[in-house]
Structure 1
Amino acid sequence: MASPWALPEDLRLHLRLDAIDAVQAAASIAAAETIIRAALQQTIDAVAGDTAGLVGTGRRTILLPEMPVTAVASVTVDGTLQDAGTWRVNRHGVLTRLGGCWPLDADITVVYDHGYAQVPAAVTQVCVQLAGRAWVNPRGMASESIGDWSGTWDKARAGDALTDYEMRLLEPYARGPESR
């Protein structure tokens, strides 16, 4: 299991609290990490030896699902190991077939390492902000009236949704729509 992106102390400082329940804070941070991973469709944390099953496109390039790519251990096409001189990959996950195209509808298996050894500061900041919203307003109350009680809830105010600004901050760490 990867280390948490932020610590309860980070959340305490962000919220300017004198004290914080460390167990609850850790749970809020973990929930924020899950939401961010889902929004980005990326693991973010460093992963070694991950396996991606892809399908040949009949083109020179195919995209690995996770980035940044830090190393590729092997590439196989329909069970046949490919020589390292027949392909190349960049950190953005573009796997290029040298001297030809990936066979159409072929089963391509790539064993590779990806992710960040240290989670980028922008990702950590968004995680703390999201966890902070969940901490301050766990039910997502947007408005409340007391006489003849009335309540309005807003999921975004509960820390269950990323704001447009946060999504712009996270955009460099997400895959583009063409790769999903």
Structure 2
Amino acid sequence: MSVLPPLASVADLAAMLNRTFTAAQEAQAQALLDQASSIVRSYLRQDITRATTTDTFTLRRADPVQHRCGGVVTLPQRPVVDIVSVSVNGTATSDWWQDGNDLLLRSPAWTHPPAAHAPPQVEVTYTHGWDRVPGDITAIVMQAATRVMVNPSGIRSETVGGESVTYLVPSTGEFLGVLLSRTEMKALDRYRRTSGTVAVRRR
């Protein structure tokens, strides 16, 4: 499985901070963006960037009223840009159609071997994700990286009544680092996959 690229670039981060990075700062920024991108992807359960993937799924029975087909697979990576190929139990088929993230198979495969003993396995090669990462995702990745880039110790100071007080940020006392805040997670929730078909095998 190939390594996914970061969801924001070092140049993006430098422009946002209005800074010119040294070589050491560039290396630090890249590491932080890689970490923040991994955390965002883990939370969303999405690759985000455009890619073509081959997954194997277990076919599930369709709602005869809603789908009117032999079986359905929900493709987990979104948005689905193109379905390249489909095979059922190792046999290629074109007897399918797409409805959003659902792949619908027209012919019922449940009454023929080996489906009579086990659910059919559907291998799908499909292209998914955004050609350009949505701006709000990029902004949150940079924001998470900036927290450490600008204030690596997570320290905030202010003067109260003539006395200097130093404590962790935010005010809850929890230093997030590149982890996501509740506000950031809420902003990302519209991209998050909360349910759907689980891939049996991916390559």
For the criterion TM > 0.5, the same-fold answer is yes
Q: Percent identity?
A: 29
- Structure with bigger gyration radius: 2
Aligned to 2:188, the other structure's residue is in SS state helix
- Identify the residue that residue 177 of structure 1 maps to in structure 2: 195
The counterpart of 1:54, out of the listed 57, 64, 72, is 57
Aligned to 1:177, the other structure's residue is in SS state coil
- Identify the residue that residue 12 of structure 1 maps to in structure 2: 14
- Identify the residue that residue 83 of structure 2 maps to in structure 1: 72
- Identify the residue that residue 97 of structure 2 maps to in structure 1: 88
In the comparison of the two structures, how many residue pairs are matched?
168
Asked if structure 1 preserves the Cα contact closer than 8 Å seen for 2:4 and 2:47, the reply is no
Q: 1:44-68 CA deviation, whole Å, 9 max, x = no partner?
A: 11112x1011001122432112111
Aligned-partner residue type, residue 125 of structure 1: A
Asked if structure 2 preserves the Cα contact closer than 8 Å seen for 1:14 and 1:132, the reply is no
- Identify the residue that residue 138 of structure 1 maps to in structure 2: 152
The counterpart of 1:110, out of the listed 124, 134, 137, is 124
Aligned to 1:58, the other structure's residue is in SS state coil
Counterparts in 2 of 1:121 and 1:11: CA distance versus 1, 3 Å: same
- Distance in 1, matches of 2:91 and 2:29, equals 48
1:22-33 alignment to 2 at 5 Å? 22-33=26-37
The structure where helix makes up a greater share of residues is: 1
For structure 1, the 5+ residue unaligned runs are 144-150
The counterpart of 2:47, out of the listed 34, 37, 43, is 43
Aligned-partner residue type, residue 14 of structure 2: R
The normalised TM-score by structure 2 is 0.70
